[in-house]
Structures are given as structure tokens and as C-alpha cells.
Amino acid sequence: MPGKLKAKIVAGRHLPVMDRASDLTDAFVEVKFGNTTFKTDVYPKCLNPQWNSEWFKFEVDDEDLQDEPLQITVLDHDTYSANDAIGKVYIDIDPLLCSEAASVISGWFPIYDTIHGIRGEINVLVKVDLFNDLNRFRQSSCGVKFFCTTSIPLCYRAAMVHGFVEELVVNEDPEYQWIDRIRTPRASNEARQRLISLMSGELQRKIGLKVLEMGGNAVVGYLQCFDLEGESGIVVRAIGTACTLDKLSAGANANAYTHPNTAPASNACNSPSKDSKESPLAHGCRSTHNSPVHSTCSAQRLSQNFSVSVPTLIFAGMGSGGSVGKEAGPLKMLLRQQTQTALEQREFPFFTLTCFPPGFLVHVGGVVSARSVKLLDRIHNPDEPETRDAWWEEIRQEIKSHAKALGCHAVVGYSESTSICEEVCILSAAGTAAILNPRYMREGCLDIGSGDHSCGFCHIPYDELNMPFPAQLTYCYQCRRQKVPDVLFTTIDLPTEAAVSGKGCLIQARLCRLKKKAQGEVNATSISNLLPFMEYELHTQLMNKLKLRSMNALFGLRIQISIGENMLLGLASATGVYLSALPTPGGIQIAGKASGDLSNEQHVLSIQKRINDAMAKNKEMYHINPPELSEEAAGSPIPEPKQRSRLFRSQSESSDELSELDLSHGKKDAFVLEIDDTDAVEDIHSLLTDAPPPAGFYSCNTEVMPGVYNWTSGLQMFTSVRVLRLSNANLTNQSLNKIFTDMCENLLKSLYFKLRSMIPCCLCHVNFTVAVPEDELIQVAVTAVAMSFDKEPILEKLGDRANEDQLQFPMELCAESASVAISNLTAKFTATSVDYGSFADRCSTWLELIRLKAHTIRRGSVKTISSSERCSPLPEGRSRSLRSTRSSGGGGGGTAVTVVKMTPLSFLPGTRLIKYLGIINMFFIRETTSLREEGGVSGFLHTFIAEVFAMVRAHVAALGGNAVVSYSMKECVFMENPNKNQAQCLINVSGDAVVFVRDTDQEATPTLIHTSCGGTDGPT
Amino acid sequence: MAVELDVFVGNTTIMDEEVYQLWLDGYTVNDAVKVRMVSEGMEEYEASAEVVMSDTMDQYRTFQMCERLLHNPTKLANQLLFQIPPHRQAMLIERYYTFDDVFVREVLGKKLSKGTKKDLDDVSSKTGITLKSCRRQFDNFKRVFKVVEELKGPLVENIRQNFILSDKLARDYAAIVFFANNRFETGKRKLQYLTFQDFAFCAGQLIKNWTVGAVDNMVEDMDVDLDKEFLQDLKELKILITDKDLLDQHKSLVCTALRGKTKVYTEMETNFKNLSRGLVNIAAKLTNTKDVRDFFIDLVEKFIEPCRSDRWASADMRLYLTHYTNSAHLLDTFKYQVVWDRYMGVIKSCIFKMYPQMSTFSTPLSGIIDQRFVHVKRDFGPLGRLSIFL
């Protein structure tokens, strides 16, 4: 009997009126765990009942503790008829199983009903007593920590990164069971909610077991998704990166590496030149398969288990020719060998992380992705996970081989997704091929900062003489020693050490393709035929838009392809930046199809002018001023035949046309757009219609905006959903594209307008998801966080830079002699104690490094950082949850609700995360049969999203937390039937519950960590 | 192609104060968009009508969802659905309960019943305030009335605690509740020149001095009902006008005190008995509910109008009332000094407040014509209104 779960029902408040006669409610509560149920007494005639129940005790296996949620049902007692359910609360007790996380769950939870939404609140106390488990063959994995965050969590240090873990569980969907015909929608929704909750628990437990097997103690970058396959069932699958994490010692507010928001990468790159060489342009995409018609053979082969493998594209920086710098060559070989041994033991050297400790990432190859179209009604054993396992296995193998083709041994920033329409399912996987530092695969090596140049990751990992695709290479504009491609696409966040010129911006490519309605294999084949073209088009759009902004790299690239009955939607989002190490991008050249036609030529000229103007404007807007490079410093240009290629829109390539085009664009090389067909016109059009964000706004889809550092604590996380109904029956691809593009643009405009009070502000982690919920509907959902920042006064900026330079110095020293560094640093502390707060974070990072090197550092010398304020040692969240436990009086009690911040990022600016309380993974269904009365579809969804936020906040507050980081809404399935006045929506959200303290409350840290380590929850 | 669904939900609920005001003022979404499009700062964001429309719809939806909570402001602080910073909560509540003085003037003293609510469209067309806004304000009055009706303790404090309002607004609501409870007539043409704030001041005086709560602060309705015993005692004051000796004595005392100090001495002297009878008769009749309702109209007719027609300046009136009150103490045979003070204290401050300034009172009260119309209105119901405009 390895665990005892205890629950106490304290009180309720704001209950709905269940008895029309008395306008009151006779409420009681059922507490259920597994198959055991307890009941409280009926608290008669009251809307704010005080049950103050005894402790209900459940003696259970820890396996059940992990799988099952605690289920609390509030009911209205009825003497003559059946008791009416008011609503339910599901509490995931997983955070209590981890000694470091929360020790008690206590607080007000919204009582949720799938038909009526939130109906009052209930105050609950939950505790778990775990006994030591001596069983070696246990099925549970209690104690393994889970993080949604895709970097090493801020108050931990990665002792070792073990690698990829994945798991998948399948079950029948209750909505498709025979019994669903006779039960109420409420019962069906609740069965589904409960099932998914159980399945996620089971999944997490199984992944935990794998982690323990690997010798790890945590999963970072945990990504759990569910696929509603319909008839064939519900699949819950998850991937993550197994790690061994060490908690950083008390008082150390350092993250193992500097966060980009506190440490601006130095812009001082060695001095690249814009006009020193004539590197030919390149278009950066190639399909690794020869043609998209790969499916014909598979269609014959797989009559039972239909599967189409879709040719995959590798996006990468391109280059060609040249030879390796002498000193770099052997090193690279050595490195490769080492990594190989470390990584080759792994089946899939994949990492779901997007942000790494410095030095972890050696080289980045480019984006690798694979997609495959499957038919769900051909699964042999729908209830068994084997078939899906095999599908994913196949895709992962493909990704692995793509990475190999790029000369890489690992894939970072890896993610998987699906899109389902009826019986067709697209499985997609994407990541960034990379070479990792082998040292990080061994125990205890993760803290050494790399002495490498900040440009290291840009250098090509593949062999120049044996290029995986045609590409243009130049010598790195920073170190001048190694080759870099002219463009780099990745799915990861911008590495902290990267040198960037100016700011970044959100770049989106949007695409709609019509397809005929079809069934089964025909449908699947036509989809798989369309996919490569879509990827190609999206890639072209991205490339054009990147060039238009005078940028040369994309980070956080995420391509989503969504299927509907009669169309495919593609949306690619990424953050464009100008990497100082990469060459300046050339211009965009417009070419007409035929010379001689005067009006046409003028048209071409006018477009050309508009494009040039737009580029100049963008350069200014994003502050892109790469330092000029003197001729000799540029090093020898790579000898290269002056060749030019262009982007052909038509399938056929005619080389004789080449001579007619003037491709020069100033002295630089140009990217050519030929307007010889409607597609291209449309392209150019969309290129120029993308409105820049209004003044004072920036946007990106990565963790932080390159070039913006001084965040204030003002932040606003939001979710916005739009659904568009296409009325016109005979739409063309072009008009559909325009509609879709306008929809996305308008949505962004609306967001800017709504958040105008936060200017200057940056929308970070802008995450678009598209779906085709019905024939004529397009749904776009966005979740992002708006963060305001201070406009930096120039003087302060200079001062900051100076400080940093000084700090950099001791840091480099510390590797050799810690004592020097300490004295150096201490001296600095005393000298600049005045405005310490501003860069305390950064200092503490260096401090941490030093502390790990030499334990001789004395507290006294560190003390200077903190202004000795001890006023409020408890963070808001904790103090509140304690208070609420006591003053559980409820009713109109004056206890204020804890403010819970939410953000899709892994950090909160101006704060330190001192404790991770566990993962939040919640799934809700809401249904209505009175759509009009609830304010139509918008009113319905608005309420539901607000309710989901409220429930997430309540759970976090009950765990004693005051924020959710790495929050994401992974699913938002909305279905409506206005004629029947009905609608249904499913939402799945996840994130990490945390406790943060403001940077200004320095002293709070030791006190609090001490308290929590002791396992007691009393206030200090 | 149409936007089927469009929502924006922030973790912290975003509420634009300007849009909130438009919503409170009862603008439709379309009208609100029109107003916003021409308001300042819009061109800065290059906001298209579409964007403003989307934002306005969203905000309106949020307000509608919040309205339920605003009906019970104490819930707003500990509800979980919307995360709203405390100062924003206070703003939302305060603005929601703020009312238009023009509107409240129309319903002040009326029964807060369904019947009155039905007539709100008339009020709306008369005041130019949208019907929606009128309804909200009326419902607010009614809601506050219902909640505090049954509560013990001081009225203003109860309102402030149950609705989390500012002191000023709580006092105004206390006045409204007090007027509605006692059904004071305020709608007569003769009282039209008085603002809501004038009445609110008087209500404050009455609550403080004439209610049950003035003597005992732990009974129900203490601040809403007038002290019955006190009203009974007021009958005794009649002696001041029925006893001829006493009346003469009183008059001579006042005259002695005022001689040479006021320009309207002769008018005062001739009118003294009339005025005194007026004030004392008001006191004596207050046991009748009907006469309580006419309290303010009586004050105007019996005291303010005669003084005005004799062109008393405010200073004259003040001087007169002060001496009139104080002289009663010197009357040997007058034994009801305490009741007299309690009565006259309120009367004095009410009349001081109500006595019109010269400028606002350009023409003598056109009593006769107005009376006729009022009668017409009363007799013919809604048709009477037409005759006024004809």
C-alpha cells in the first residue's frame, strides 16, 4: 500500500440556485478516487455551504495515484427525485507525488459543468502520504518531474541530457460508443474528460518509467497531444527530453546560462562587408525525394494499411564550393566522431528543447521535416497502440535520415503534430538538424561555457564537397575561418550567444489549396500529392518575405498543414533576424516575362521600386545596420563562377531565358521573382500587402525578441480565436489565399489595436493554429504574450554595455583561476552597488558559474547585490493559499483572489522563478444547447476560454503558485450547429505551475526555499 | 464570406474605459464604433472600422459577462472567472453605479416599481438618455433599495459595504433610497429648479436628524423611516400659532432682534404670522404620510415663495430663520425646546439649501399656469403630456 491520499471538503461559495421554490440549494459533495467514493453531509438551504468535512482517506497504489485524478462532484440533494449534479472538479494529484513540488493542494476551485460552465466554487484540501516503495518491479514513476518548458528550467542545472522519450496510448472514444446514443450529452462529455485525464496520467507514468530506466529524473520539453480519431479512438501521445536535473542551491538565483532577456548578445561582430564578394543567390529548398509521386507504389502495396509517405523537404542555409579552413577541419572530424559514439546508442537522437546551455549546440544544419498521410479506417487493431507506434517510428526514421544527410547527428527543437479530417490523418514531424557538443552527453559536463565563437552554430555541419543540396557558402562574417550558408532556417530559439544586428520580426507564409472532395485512398493520394507543392510554396513565401526584410535567418519555424474536406491550409510562422555571421541578403529582382512590351516593363519597374522601397523601410524599421567591413578584413572571397539562378514558378525551366534578365541589383546579388504567371503576381502582391506592425510594436514567435532587452513586468497573455465562413461556392486558389492571408493579417491588426495601451510592446511567442472545422469554415487561433519594455535611453545602454564588457572579463578568467575572478567581481559589486537591480540577474549568472567552480565564495561578498529588504519574504501566492485555508469561511469573505500570471514563455521578466510546482495539463469539454441565449458562438467560446483560464489559475493558486510559464493551448476544437442552437468545444491546455519572486525581493529566496525544502508549509 | 466567430480573451481582462462608458451610456455596438472612429488617437493606430468593430464587440461581450457580477459587487472581488486588478474593479463598480443627475431627478421619490420602469421610455425621450442606460440606472436604484431595506445599521455604511461604492456615491444612493421609501414629491413644476444634489443634501439632513436612527442605531430601517414618536411630538408645536399670546410674543422677539438689520423689515413684520403658521403647520401635519410626501412642496409654497415674492435676499432669509428659531427659546410658556430644535435645525438647513439664488429665479414662480398643466397631466394621464407641448 504505497500511498495514502487525503482530501477534505471545506466549503462552497456562489453556488447556483437549484431549488426554484426556495431560491436555495441543498448541496453535498461526493469525493471519488478510483473506485472509492465518500460523501459529505447535506448542507441544507444555503448557497455558501460550510461542510468542513472530515479527512477522506484513500489507500491506493502509487500507480493509481499517477493515473487517476481526484474527482469531486457537487450535487443538490433531492428527497423525491434523483440528486442533481451541480458540477465537478478534477484535481490532478501528480504534483503532490514529487517531494520538491507542492506538498498540499488547497484553495478554491471553480465547480465546472460541461453544459453550464462554472457554477460556483469549492474549497478543497488534498494531501498525499507516500510510503517508501521496496518493490523493484514497480509500475509507477513517482518523483519524475515534468516540464513543458523547452529549455533547462530556470532554477535547475542539467547534469545530463539523456535524450528522446516518447509514448502513446489509445482508447475507444466514449462519444463513439453505442451507449452514447442513450446517455445525456453531459454524461458523454464527462466520460470523455475523465478518460483523457486518465490516459494522460497513464502516459505520464509510462514516460516516467522510461526516464527512470535511462537514469534520468526529469522530462523537459514535455509535449503531450491528443488525436481525436473518431471511430478508431482517442490517441494521447507525448514526446519529451529526458534529463537529470539538479536543483540549484538556495540563494542561487542563477540559471545555468544567461537568459537572452538579460544578456544582449553583443553586436560587435568582426566586421563583415556587404560588397566584398559576389556570392551567387540561391533558393533554399530542395526535396530529398525526386518527385512527389512517391505514393503510387505505396498505394498498391498497402491495401489494408494505407500509407503515403510524403517527400520531405530540407530547408537549410545554402552554399557551395570552397574548402575548409585548415585548423577547423580535423577538429570538426574529431567532434563528429565523438558525438557519433555518444548519440548513436540512441535510437532517436532527438531533443524537444529549443533553447540550450551555451556551447551545447555546435553547428546547425537546417530544418528537417517529414509528413505522412494515413488512413485511420485501415487500422488493424484500433484499440492497440502498435499501428500508430509504427507510423511515428517510420516518420522519426525519416527525420533521422534527413538529419544524417545534412551531416548532423542530432535533431533539436523537435516536435510532432497531426491533422485529422474524417478518416485521413497527416502525421508531421519537424526539427532542426544539428551537431551537439559530445561533452554534454556525459555526466557532469554541462556547466562549462564554450570558448567557441558566438558564430559557431552558424557554421555548416555538412561536408562542403559533398553537399546535400545546392547552396552558396561564404566564409563566416564573424570569425572568417569557417563556412556559413547564406540563409539559415531553424525550429529552435535564437541561441543566446548569437550576434544579431537589429531586431527580429514575425514572418508568416500562408497558403490555401483547394482539393476535390474524395474518399479513402483517392483522397489520401490527392492530399499527399498536394503536400510537397504546399511545402515548396510556403518555403518560397518565407524566403521572399525574409529577403524583403533584409534578414538572413529564421528561428522558431513552425509549419502547420491542416486538412479539410475540400481544402488544405498551410501556415508557416517564424521569427526573422539578421545574423551578423551570415552574409547580407541580396535584393529581390523582378523580371517580366517578355521584353519589348512597354506597359509591361513599366509595371515591372513600378513593382521593383515598391519592393526596393519596402526593403529600405524595413531595414530602418528593424534597425538592421550590419557594421561595414573593410575589403581586406573580409578575407578572400570564395572562388566561384558567377552564376545566377532564379526562382521559377513554372514547372519547366528554360535556360535560354536567362540572358534576357538583368539580375544585378546594385552590386549585390539578387533574388529573382519572375512575374510570368498569376501565381507569381499573387506572390508579389502578398509580399507587399503584409502590413508592418504599427509603431511601438514588435512581434516574434520565439521566446524573446532579439534586440529588445529591458522588459518591464507588464505582460498580458491572451488567446484569440476567429472563424471565417466562406460563402462563395466557387472559389479559386488565389481568392482563397487572399481571404486566408487577410484573415491572418486582420487578426494581427486587431491584436495590435487591442494591446495599444502597452506600447512600446512586443508580442512574443505568437502561436497561430489553423483548422478547417467544417466545409466552409476556416478557424485561426492565436495564443501569445504581449510584453512591454522600456525604450532604452542611449546613455544607459552604453553604460550597460560597458558593465557587461567588464563582467565578461572575469567570467572568462574564472575558467582558469576562480580566485582572481572573485576578487574582480567583488570589487565590482562594491563599486557599482548603486544601480544593482538592473543587472543583478546577469551578475548572478556569472556568480553561479564561479560558485560552481570554486566554493570559496563567501556570502558576504555576494550580499552587496541585495538591498537588505526583508519586508515580504513570502510570495503572493503562498501567503494567499495559506490564508485561504484558514479563512475558508467562504461566502462573501474578503479574501482577495491570488493574481496568477500566465505566459507562453519560460520566464517572467523582472522576476526569478524559485520553484516549479508541477505540470498543468487540463482538458475541458463545453457544450451548449442554448447557443443564442449564451450570446451566440462568440459569447459561448469567449465564456469557455475565460473559464479555462480561470480553472488553470485556480489550480496553480491551489498548488501555492503564482504563475504559469510555458503555457500553451494545444487544442481548440470548435463545432457548431446554429440551426439546432448547439455548439461544442474541446480545449486542451498545458504549462508549468511556478512560484516567482520579484527581482527586488532578493532576500526572499533563501527563506522560502528553506521552508519548502523542510516540507512544511507554514509561513515564515 | 463572413466572420462567424471572433473572440479575444486575456489572462488579465482588458477593459477600455472609453468603451465601457459608451456601453454604460447604452450605445449600440454600431453607434459606439461611430463614436470611437472619430475620437482622438484612432488614426495613430490606423484602425479600420473592421478592427474597431471587432474590438467593440469583444468589449461589449466582456461587459455583458461582467454585468452579472456588477449586480453583486462583493462577488467581483472573489470571483475567479475574470482576473481584474483591484483598482480596475473599483472603477468598474463606481462607473456602473454612477447615474445621471438629470435622470435621477425624474424618478426621485417615485416608487421603484414596475409601473415606474414602464414609464422610463418617456424619461428617456425627455432627458435624451438612452432607454438602456435609464433601465440600468433604475435597476441600480431598485437593487440598492432592496438590499438595504432589510439591513440593520447606518444606511450609508450599508450601501458602501454591500456595493463597494465611494463615500460620495453611497451618500447619493442613501438619498435616493430615502426619497423612494418616503415617496417625497419632487416632480412638481415648482420644485423643478432644485437639483438632485439639493435634494440629496436635504435627505442627508433628514436622515441624520429625523429618523429612528438619529436616536437608536440598531433597529431595522433606522435610517429609512422617520421617527414616528418625533412626528407625534411635532403636533405640540402648534401651540406657537394657536396660542395668540405666544404668537405675538414670538413675533415681537423676532422683530426686536431684526430691526435695523434687514432691508425687508416691514415685509417681514407683516408676514411673520403667515410664515410662522406655514412652518408650524408643516410640522404638525407630518404624521400623515400624504403630508410627508408634500414636505418639500410645502416648504416652497408656505415659506420660500412668500419670501421670494417679497424679494428677500438669502441673507435676509437666513437672519430671519436664525432669530425665529432662537427666539422660541425665550418664550417662557413654550416647553418643547428639544423638539423645536430638532425640527428647526433640519428646516433651516433645508431652506438654506433650497432658497434660490437671484439668478436662477428670474421670473416669479409661474404657479397658476403650471398648476393647471400639472392638473391636466394628472387627469388625463399620458395625454396630458401632449397638452404641455401643444
A131-141 pLDDT, tens per residue?
765 554 556 67
Cβ(A63)–Cβ(A33) under 8 Å?
A: no
Share of chain B above pLDDT 70, in %: 87
- Of the candidates A129, A238, A236, A229, which has an alpha carbon nearest to the alpha carbon of residue A193? A236
Lowest mean pLDDT among A179-193, A784-798, B91-105, B240-254: A784-798
Q: What is the pLDDT of residues A493-531, one digit of tens each?
A: 988 888 888 888 999 999 999 888 888 888 888 998 899
- Can you tell me the distance from the alpha carbon of B56 to that of A749, in angstroms, rounded to the nearest whole number? 14
Q: Could B9 and A720 be called an inter-chain contact, meaning their C-beta atoms sit closer than 8 Å?
A: yes
From the CA of B64, how many Å to the nearest CA of chain A? Answer: 9
For the segment A98-114, the average pLDDT, to the nearest whole number, is 86
Q: Could A893 and B78 be called an inter-chain contact, meaning their C-beta atoms sit closer than 8 Å?
A: yes
In this predicted structure, the answer to whether residue A666 has a pLDDT above a threshold of 50 is no
Higher-confidence residue: A807 or A159?
A159
Residue-wise DSSP of A307-344: EEEEP-EEEE---------TTHHHHHHHHHHHHHHHHH
For the segment A750-779, the average pLDDT, to the nearest whole number, is 91
From the CA of A745, how many Å to the nearest CA of chain B? Answer: 11
The pLDDT, as a whole number, for residue A683 is 64
Lowest mean pLDDT among A204-208, A239-243, A266-270, A760-764: A266-270
- Please name the residue of chain A whose CA is at the shortest distance from the CA of residue B69: A14
The pLDDT, as a whole number, for residue B41 is 67
The pLDDT, as a whole number, for residue A871 is 36
Instruction: Give residue A677's pLDDT band: very low, low, confident or very high (50, 70, 90).
Output: low
In this predicted structure, the answer to whether residue A112 has a pLDDT above a threshold of 90 is yes
- Please name the residue of chain A whose CA is at the shortest distance from the CA of residue B47: A753
Residue with the three cell numbers 530540407: A314
- Can you tell me the distance from the alpha carbon of A694 to that of B43, in angstroms, rounded to the nearest whole number? 11
- Can you tell me the distance from the alpha carbon of A697 to that of B139, in angstroms, rounded to the nearest whole number? 42
Higher-confidence residue: A693 or A320?
A693
Q: What is the pLDDT of residues B307-325, one digit of tens each?
A: 888 888 888 888 889 999 9
Which chain A positions have a beta carbon within 8 Å of B9's beta carbon?
A: 718-720, 942, 945-946, 949
From the CA of A699, how many Å to the nearest CA of chain B? Answer: 16
Instruction: Give residue A1002's pLDDT band: very low, low, confident or very high (50, 70, 90).
Output: low
The pLDDT, as a whole number, for residue A399 is 92
Higher-confidence residue: A33 or A442?
A33
The pLDDT, as a whole number, for residue A731 is 79
In this predicted structure, the answer to whether residue A195 has a pLDDT above a threshold of 80 is yes
The pLDDT, as a whole number, for residue A1001 is 62
Q: Could B5 and A720 be called an inter-chain contact, meaning their C-beta atoms sit closer than 8 Å?
A: no
Instruction: Give residue A144's pLDDT band: very low, low, confident or very high (50, 70, 90).
Output: confident
CA atoms lying within 13 Å on the CB side of residue B21: 5
From the CA of A749, how many Å to the nearest CA of chain B? Answer: 7
Which chain A positions have a beta carbon within 8 Å of B59's beta carbon?
A: none
From the CA of B77, how many Å to the nearest CA of chain A? Answer: 6
Name the average pLDDT for chain B.
84
Higher-confidence residue: A777 or A481?
A777
Residue A169 φ/ψ, nearest 5 degrees: -125, 150
- Can you tell me the distance from the alpha carbon of A570 to that of A572, in angstroms, rounded to the nearest whole number? 7
Lowest mean pLDDT among A105-119, A224-238, A343-357, A483-497: A343-357
How far is residue B335 from each of residues A152, B240, B340, measured CA to CA in Å?
89, 10, 9
- Does the ipTM surpass 0.90? no
Q: How many CB atoms lie within 10 A of CB A121?
A: 28
Q: How far apart are the first and last CA of chain B?
A: 52
Q: Could A897 and B80 be called an inter-chain contact, meaning their C-beta atoms sit closer than 8 Å?
A: yes
Q: What is the pLDDT of residues B56-92, one digit of tens each?
A: 999 999 999 999 999 999 988 888 999 999 999 999 9
C-alpha cell read off for A873: 519574504
Least CB-CB distance to A694: which of B45, B64, B80? Answer: B45
Question: Is the pTM here over 0.90, yes or no?
Answer: no
Q: Could B62 and A895 be called an inter-chain contact, meaning their C-beta atoms sit closer than 8 Å?
A: no
Higher-confidence residue: A360 or B30?
B30
C-alpha cell read off for A840: 543583478
Q: Which of residues 46-85 of B touch A (CB under 8 A)?
A: 46-48, 50-52, 54-55, 57-58, 61-62, 64-65, 74-75, 77-83, 85
For the segment B196-225, the average pLDDT, to the nearest whole number, is 80
Instruction: Give residue A924's pLDDT band: very low, low, confident or very high (50, 70, 90).
Output: very high
What are the beta bridge partners of residue A975?
A984
Instruction: Give residue A744's pLDDT band: very low, low, confident or very high (50, 70, 90).
Output: very high
Q: What is the pLDDT of residues B282-308, one digit of tens each?
A: 998 898 888 889 999 999 998 999 888
For the segment A649-654, the average pLDDT, to the nearest whole number, is 32
The pLDDT, as a whole number, for residue B362 is 43
Least CB-CB distance to A726: which of B1, B11, B13? Answer: B1
- Can you tell me the distance from the alpha carbon of A1005 to that of A912, in angstroms, rounded to the nearest whole number? 9
The pLDDT, as a whole number, for residue A782 is 95
CA atoms lying within 13 Å on the CB side of residue A587: 20
Which chain B positions have a beta carbon within 8 Å of A935's beta carbon?
A: 61, 64
The pLDDT, as a whole number, for residue A475 is 83
The pLDDT, as a whole number, for residue A179 is 74
Residue with the three cell numbers 523582472: A910
- Please name the residue of chain A whose CA is at the shortest distance from the CA of residue B8: A720
Instruction: Give residue A569's pLDDT band: very low, low, confident or very high (50, 70, 90).
Output: very high
Q: Could A724 and B2 be called an inter-chain contact, meaning their C-beta atoms sit closer than 8 Å?
A: yes
Which chain B positions have a beta carbon within 8 Å of A724's beta carbon?
A: 1-4
Q: Could B81 and A946 be called an inter-chain contact, meaning their C-beta atoms sit closer than 8 Å?
A: yes
The pLDDT, as a whole number, for residue B166 is 93
In this predicted structure, the answer to whether residue B135 has a pLDDT above a threshold of 60 is yes
Residue with the three cell numbers 438590499: B147
The pLDDT, as a whole number, for residue A821 is 35
Q: Which amino acid is at A551?
A: M
Least CB-CB distance to A719: which of B9, B47, B61? Answer: B9
- Of the candidates A970, A1012, A1005, A1020, which has an alpha carbon nearest to the alpha carbon of residue A991? A970
Instruction: Give residue A300's pLDDT band: very low, low, confident or very high (50, 70, 90).
Output: very low
Lowest mean pLDDT among A346-355, A748-757, B40-49: B40-49
In this predicted structure, the answer to whether residue A142 has a pLDDT above a threshold of 50 is yes
The pLDDT, as a whole number, for residue B218 is 61
Q: Could A754 and B14 be called an inter-chain contact, meaning their C-beta atoms sit closer than 8 Å?
A: yes
Q: Which amino acid is at A423?
A: E
Q: Could A753 and B83 be called an inter-chain contact, meaning their C-beta atoms sit closer than 8 Å?
A: no
From the CA of A387, how many Å to the nearest CA of chain B? Answer: 37
Q: Could A900 and B51 be called an inter-chain contact, meaning their C-beta atoms sit closer than 8 Å?
A: no
From the CA of B144, how many Å to the nearest CA of chain A? Answer: 17
* Most confident stretch, A79-83, A655-659, B18-22, B116-120: B18-22
Q: What is the pLDDT of residues A406-450, one digit of tens each?
A: 888 889 999 999 999 888 999 999 999 988 877 666 554 444 444
- Can you tell me the distance from the alpha carbon of A57 to that of A37, in angstroms, rounded to the nearest whole number? 10
Can you tell me whether residue A120 is helix, strand or coil?
A: strand
Share of chain A above pLDDT 90, in %: 31
Instruction: Give residue B143's pLDDT band: very low, low, confident or very high (50, 70, 90).
Output: very high
- Of the candidates A117, A297, A385, A268, which has an alpha carbon nearest to the alpha carbon of residue A927? A117
Which chain A positions have a beta carbon within 8 Å of B5's beta carbon?
A: 721-723, 779, 937-938, 941, 974
Q: Could A950 and B14 be called an inter-chain contact, meaning their C-beta atoms sit closer than 8 Å?
A: no
* Most confident stretch, A669-673, A808-812, B119-123: B119-123
In this predicted structure, the answer to whether residue A602 has a pLDDT above a threshold of 70 is yes
The pLDDT, as a whole number, for residue B44 is 67
From the CA of B4, how many Å to the nearest CA of chain A? Answer: 5
Q: Could A902 and B11 be called an inter-chain contact, meaning their C-beta atoms sit closer than 8 Å?
A: yes
Element containing residue B2 per DSSP (H, E): strand B2-10
Q: What is the pLDDT of residues A571-599, one digit of tens each?
A: 999 999 998 888 888 777 777 665 556 66
What are the beta bridge partners of residue A861?
none
Which chain A positions have a beta carbon within 8 Å of B79's beta carbon?
A: 14, 897
Q: Could B7 and A941 be called an inter-chain contact, meaning their C-beta atoms sit closer than 8 Å?
A: yes
The pLDDT, as a whole number, for residue A597 is 61
Q: Could B6 and A897 be called an inter-chain contact, meaning their C-beta atoms sit closer than 8 Å?
A: no
In this predicted structure, the answer to whether residue A384 has a pLDDT above a threshold of 50 is yes
In this predicted structure, the answer to whether residue B16 has a pLDDT above a threshold of 70 is yes
Name the average pLDDT for chain A.
73
For the segment A245-252, the average pLDDT, to the nearest whole number, is 67
Which chain B positions have a beta carbon within 8 Å of A721's beta carbon?
A: 5-7
For the segment A524-541, the average pLDDT, to the nearest whole number, is 89
Query: Does residue B3 belong to the interface with chain A, where contact is any CB pair within 8 Å?
Result: yes
